[in-house]
Structure 1
C-alpha cells in the first residue's frame, strides 16, 4: 500500500512539472526569437541550492563565493543573478551584494525564468546534495527543465559538482535521465559518479566540490584567533567541533537530544583531558531547524557543568572566515560536508560524522582512511572517544597527506568552471 501511494505521489510530481514547467517552456521556445549572445560570457544565472533562502547555509554561500570569484577572476566584468523564490539581495563573500530574482514557484516562476535566462550567457546549478531528490524530487524536475530549456536556447547550462546517494527519488531519476546531452554534468566524487552513471545512464564527469576554490578570509578574526593562541600558549591543542541535527538524526531519534548532548560532552571531556585539547564550537548553518546553534550552545553548557572550561563557542556568519579559523586548528570534528571541505581545503584533518553517502568519495580525493569517519549511531558509544583519539594521533600525517593532494583536488574543482558551447537543436 505504501509503495503504491509513493508511486502515485511520484507520478503527480512528474505530471505537475510537465504542466507547469516543461510544456510552457516548450511553447516559449517555439514562439520567441532565440537570443544572440556575445562570444565572451559576462552575465551568469545561478540556481540556488535552497531557493527559499539562498544565504541561510554557509555551505551554499561557500559555493556561491567560490564560483563567482573564480568566474570574475577570468572576466572582471562578470555579473551574477541568483534564481530563488523571492526578490531580495544576499551578501556573497568576495563579491558583495548579489540580487536574487524570483523565477521559481509555479507557472509564473517558469515564465520569469524564460525572460531571465535570455538575458544571461550561462546557467549554473548549485548541485551539492540536492540532485538525488533527497530534499525534494519536484526541485530536481524543475532544475532539469530549466537546464534543458537553457541549452535549447543556445545558453550553456552546468550542474556544479554534486553527490548522488544510493537511493535517489524516482522523479529525480526520471528527470535526470532526460537531460539534454549539451547540459554539463559534474559529479564531485567517484562513488557518486559510479552510482549516477549506473542508475541514470547519462554522461557525466568527475570533479571536486566547487567550494574548494573559495579563498580564506584575509583579515584576522580578532577574538577567536586570540583564544586559539592563548590555548596554544597553555599547551593545549585547539580542535573544532560542529554538531547538527541533520547528520545526527538517527542518534537523536534513538536517545533524545538531551542524552545525546550529555554523551558528547562526556566523550569530549575525556578526549580533552587525555590529549590536552581545547574545543572551538563552530556552527555552519544558522537556520533554527538545522540544530547547529542550539546543539553547540547546549554542548558548551554541558562541558562547563562537567568542569571542562577549555571551550569557546564562535558565532561566525561568513564561510571564508570559518575557513580561515579552521585552518588554525589541528583537527575538526563535524557532520557538515562544507565544513569538512573548508577544513581539508585549509589542510586541517577531519573526523567526519557520515550520512547520505557523501563522505566516502570526498575522502577518496585525498586518499584518507575511512577510519577517520564515524556513523551517527557509533557516536552513542565509547567508539566516539576512540575515534577522536585516533584522529588526533594521526593528525600530522593526515595534514601532510591532505596538503600533498590539495593541488590536484583544486584542479578537479576548477573543472566546474568550464562553460561548454551548445547548439540550437530541439
Structure 2
C-alpha cells in the first residue's frame, strides 16, 4: 500500500474507528457485551518464529498474572500459529494483520473491535515494528488496534519499543494522532529522545519487557547444553556464545549468506589460534527463513566451514527451543557475541556480558541502560579487506568480561524496575 494512499486514509480511518467504537460502546452499555474481569489482550510484534518476540509475550503474561490479571488472550497474526503460552483465547486477526483482500480486511477489523470490547486492557508489544522500518502498513495496523481499544475505554499502550534514526512520516503521524491516554513506552534513552523530537504525544522511558522473562530451570535441552558447558568449564575453557542472522545482510549489496559464513569461520579460526582456551557455543535465536536461511542454518554452515581442530571446540544448541531455555543457558556462558538484540537482553538479564553485530541502530540504547561502553560493530565493517575489527572486538569482550559482568549485575535491578514501568502506568 503506497504512502500517499496511507496518508489519505489516516483521517478517514480515525473517523471510521470512532463511529464503530461508538456503536460498540452502545452495545456494551445496553448489556449485550460484558467485560471479562481481570482481563487483558496482548498483541505480539509478529507471528511466532522469533525467540525475542516469544520472550516479550511470555514475560508480559508472567508479570500480568503476578498482578492478578488472570484472563489473558493473545492476538494471532497467522491462523493456527501461536506462541507457546496458555491463554483463555487466541484471537485470530490474520486477515487484518496480513492483508488479503478488502472484504476479509473489513470483516476482520469488525471482529477485532467486537473482541476487544470484551476486555479491560490491551497491550501492544512494540519492539522494532512502530517506526515504519519494515513497512508503514505494518505500523498502521498495530497503531489502529491500539486506537480502537483506547476509544472503547480499555487501558492500553504500546510497550517497550525502539524508534530508529529515520522514522517514517506515516509513523510520526500515527503516533501523534493517538488519544492522549494511550501510554507509549520507549525502551531506551535514544529512542525516547527521538520520539520526543518527532511526535506530539507524551512518552515514557522504560526498558524492554523481555527483561522480566523467567528462565527455564529444567528441560532435556538444558540438560544437554549444560552438560557440554560443564565439560568445557572442567577443562578451564572460556565459553563464548555466537549468534548470527540473515538480517545482517539486508543493506549490504552484493554480500551473500555464504560471505557471512566465511567471515565468521575466519574469525573463529583466528580466535582459536590466538587462544586454545576458547570454546564456542552457537545460539540460534530465530527460526524464520530469510532468503533461504535462518540463524540455525547459518550456525551449521559456519561449523561445517571450520577446520576440524576448531570445529571440535564448537557446539550448537538444539533448535528450535524456547526463549526461557535460552535465558537459562546464557547464565552459564562467559560472554556472547550476538547479532540479535533480544539474545543480548537475555544475556544481560543473567549478568552475561555481550558484544554486538548491530543493525537498525537498536543496540546503543541498550548499552546506555547499563552505563556500558558500547561494544559493537556494524555489519559492513565485517567485510572490510585486511581488517580484523571483529576479532579485536571479541578479544576486548573476553578481556573485560569480569568487569562487565559486575557492572551489569549492579544495574540489573534498576533495569527490571524500568521494564515493569511498561505496565504500572496502564494496569
- Could you tell me the TM-score, scaled by structure 2's length? 0.89
Deviation string, structure 1 residues 309-339 (Cα, Å, up to 9, x no partner): 2001112420000011011100111110100
Q: Secondary structure at 2:75's aligned position in 1?
A: strand
Structure 1 residues 279 and 88: CA distance shift in structure 2, 3 A? same
Query: 1:92 Cα shift?
Result: 2.9
Query: 1:254 Cα shift?
Result: 4.6
Q: Secondary structure at 2:359's aligned position in 1?
A: coil
Aligned partners of 1:266 and 1:123: how far apart in 2? 47
Aligned partners of 1:287 and 1:89: how far apart in 2? 13
Aligned partners of 1:92 and 1:84: how far apart in 2? 12
Q: What does residue 323 of structure 1 align with? A: 327
- Name which of structure 1's ranges 382-391 and 103-112 shifts more when overlaid on structure 2: 103-112
Structure 1 residues 250 and 235: CA distance shift in structure 2, 3 A? farther
Aligned partners of 1:351 and 1:248: how far apart in 2? 18
Aligned partners of 2:284 and 2:298: how far apart in 1? 9
Deviation string, structure 1 residues 363-406 (Cα, Å, up to 9, x no partner): 00001111x11111222331111111011000000000000000
Query: 1:234 Cα shift?
Result: 2.1
8 Å CA contact 2:74–2:87 kept in 1: the answer is no
Is 2:23 the counterpart of 1:31? yes
Structure 1 residues 23 and 39: CA distance shift in structure 2, 3 A? closer
Q: What does residue 279 of structure 2 align with? A: 278
Aligned partners of 2:419 and 2:166: how far apart in 1? 25
Aligned partners of 2:287 and 2:195: how far apart in 1? 31
Aligned partners of 1:389 and 1:100: how far apart in 2? 47
Deviation string, structure 1 residues 200-242 (Cα, Å, up to 9, x no partner): 1321010000000001101151111111111112221111101
Q: What does residue 119 of structure 1 align with? A: 118
Equivalences for residues 203-222 of structure 1 within 5 A: 203-220=202-219, 221-222=222-223
8 Å CA contact 2:249–2:257 kept in 1: the answer is no
Q: What does residue 59 of structure 1 align with? A: 52
| Deviant stretches of 4+, over 4 Å | 16-19, 36-41, 95-98, 304-307
- Could you tell me the TM-score, scaled by structure 1's length? 0.89
Structure 1 residues 152 and 202: CA distance shift in structure 2, 3 A? same
Q: Secondary structure at 2:328's aligned position in 1?
A: helix
Q: Secondary structure at 2:327's aligned position in 1?
A: helix
8 Å CA contact 2:123–2:156 kept in 1: the answer is yes
Query: 1:304 Cα shift?
Result: 4.2
Q: What does residue 4 of structure 1 align with? A: none
Aligned partners of 2:326 and 2:89: how far apart in 1? 21
- For these two proteins, the number of residue pairs brought into alignment is 406
Q: For structure 2, list consecutive stretches of 5 or more residues without a partner in the other structure.
A: 98-104
Q: For structure 1, list consecutive stretches of 5 or more residues without a partner in the other structure.
A: 1-7, 422-426
8 Å CA contact 1:89–1:97 kept in 2: the answer is no
Q: What does residue 83 of structure 1 align with? A: 75
